[in-house]
Amino acid sequence: MKKGKFTYEKSGVNIAAADKFVRYISNISKNNKENSKFKNIGGFGSISNIPNNIKKPKIVASTDGVGTKIEIANILNKYDTIGIDLVAMCVNDLIVQGAKPLLFLDYISINKIDLKKLKKIIKGIIKGCKIAGCELVGGETAEMPDTYEKGKFDIAGFSVGIVDQKKILTNKIKENNLILAVPSNGIHSNGYSLVRYILKKKKINIKKNNFLKKELIRPTKIYVNEVLKLIKHNLINGCANITGGGISDNIKRIMPDGLTANINLGKIKTTRIFDWIKKNKISDKEMLKTFNCGMGFCIIIKKQNLKKINKFFDKNFKPYIVGKIIKGDKKIKLDEKINWSR
């Protein structure tokens, strides 16, 4: 047997390509001013500063992925927005606790290092971090040729935020508070397995459908800037990110004992993409537990703060009343039906 016949590269793992990708990330991350004195990208661990203007800082952490929305990216050969989704799915959970996102790390596992594809993914992650006001401080890229089929990959994110103990949004929800829906900008990153099932059964080629091509790859709305401003001005008592499990399951998670979130589903403003999904013989029950249905985020406020909050949102994401907090043993009560009008 010849010496060196078996190598890591021959088994399908190209360390040189991975190193080249790390250098690329390091170069495009140099404009991070906050922790520029720390060389995080390419190291064994990441070092970040803790803000010194918080009296009793508490750390909040979140991790998530983007599910099978990745398959839509593969079909469309479009990878520059999926990273925004990844950041959004993590940081939108952090702000529910009142935390300001500080740092973000990604994990990319792929069949074979594809620098062109990976660079686009990373650009999306960096853009998402910029929107959320946090920093990409590190991550991991794993080449796994036998785990993933040719062209396949997966991504996961991990984010850390910080909040002053007095600003933590727990047990501040009171009777007669208003429940407001903050519009989503589409499906976000939940329910794509059901969407893909519809596409398969209906034999729909989204490459030839301009509406679906645009809607199904649209990146998840990041609510960080708006919500943190509301928290800073003490304008909200609670909030929920409407992800997997839909409106009911996610709002339940923030409700104190003895209070009920009474929501009028008839007031929710659906958008065309959800009406399209609904028309494919999907029940209301299935829609509500799988998708945000147009309500991407929920905020709970005192009545007197209603007019004050509008200035923090642009015209496409103005919150509107969908219910109020009442006394009750159930965490949530859904009245009426959603109007699928399109």
Exposed / middle / buried, residue 136 (Cβ in 10 Å: 0-12, 13-18, 19+): buried
Given a cut of 80, whether residue 53 has pLDDT beyond it is yes
Given a cut of 80, whether residue 33 has pLDDT beyond it is no
Pick the range with the lowest mean pLDDT from 10-19, 50-59, 129-138, 287-296.
10-19
Given a cut of 70, whether residue 9 has pLDDT beyond it is no
Mean pLDDT of 27-51: 62
Q: How, if at all, do strands 259-264 and 332-335 pair?
A: parallel
Return the CATH number of the domain spanning residue range 15-37+55-165.
3.30.1330.10
78 against 30, higher pLDDT = 78
Neighbouring-strand partners of residue 103: 135, 160
Q: What whole-number distance in Å separates Cα of residue 238 and Cα of residue 31?
A: 34
Mean pLDDT of 110-122: 91
Sorted by where each begins, the domain ranges of the chain are: 15-37+55-165, 178-186+221-335
Given a cut of 70, whether residue 281 has pLDDT beyond it is yes
pLDDT of residue 34: 47
| Sequence-ordered strand ranges (E) for the chain | 57-65, 100-110, 135-143, 153-164, 178-183, 238-241, 259-264, 295-301, 320-327, 332-335
Highest mean pLDDT among 88-92, 117-121, 164-168: 88-92
pLDDT of residue 3: 53
pLDDT of residue 253: 94
CA distances from 276 to 137, 212, 244, 245, 264 (A): 39, 9, 19, 20, 22
Pick the range with the lowest mean pLDDT from 57-61, 120-124, 135-139, 188-192.
135-139
Highest mean pLDDT among 36-40, 110-114, 115-119, 294-298: 294-298
Given a cut of 80, whether residue 54 has pLDDT beyond it is yes
Strand, coil or helix: 251: helix
The overall average pLDDT reported for the chain is 89
Q: Give the pLDDT band of residue 8 (cuts 50, 70, 90).
A: very low
Most distant CA atoms of the chain, gap in Å: 81
Q: What is the pLDDT of residues 310-322, one digit of tens each?
A: 999 999 999 999 9
Given a cut of 50, whether residue 35 has pLDDT beyond it is no
Range 178-186+221-335: architecture per CATH? Alpha-Beta Complex (3.90)
pLDDT of residue 215: 97
Exposed / middle / buried, residue 327 (Cβ in 10 Å: 0-12, 13-18, 19+): exposed
Given a cut of 50, whether residue 122 has pLDDT beyond it is yes
Mean pLDDT of 29-35: 52
Given a cut of 50, whether residue 137 has pLDDT beyond it is yes
Q: What is the pLDDT of residues 149-206, one digit of tens each?
A: 998 999 999 999 999 998 898 779 999 999 999 999 999 999 999 999 999 999 999 9
pLDDT of residue 97: 94
Residue type at position 27 = N
pTM (2 d.p.)? 0.90
